[in-house]
Amino acid sequence: MLWVLLIVAALVAAYVFRVQLLSKVLGQPESRIRGQLERRKRR
């Protein structure tokens, strides 16, 4: 049961910090990542 909570916590943290994580992984500036995510949300 504990590992399920850990997985859920990791997923929530990844969602909350998605801009920072994506910018590090892709090597792009955070502002560009944020713009892409906002653009996708508006559609």
When pLDDT is averaged across residues 2-26 and rounded to a whole number, the result is: 94
CA-to-CA dists, residue 43 to 7, 12, 26, 36, angstroms: 30, 24, 23, 11
Reply yes or no on whether the pLDDT at 40 is more than 80: no
- % of the chain residues with pLDDT over 90: 74
| Structural domain of 26 | 2-42
Q: Are 33 and 23 in contact (CB under 8 A)?
A: yes
CB neighbour list of residue 23: distance below 8 Å, 6 or more residues apart: 29, 30, 32, 33
* Total tally of structural domains belonging to the chain: 1
For 20-36, write each residue's pLDDT tens digit. 999 999 999 999 989 98
Q: Tell me if the pTM is above 0.85.
A: no
Q: Which two tokens stand for residue 18?
A: 């998605």
The pLDDT of residue 37 is: 85
Reply yes or no on whether the pLDDT at 17 is more than 90: yes
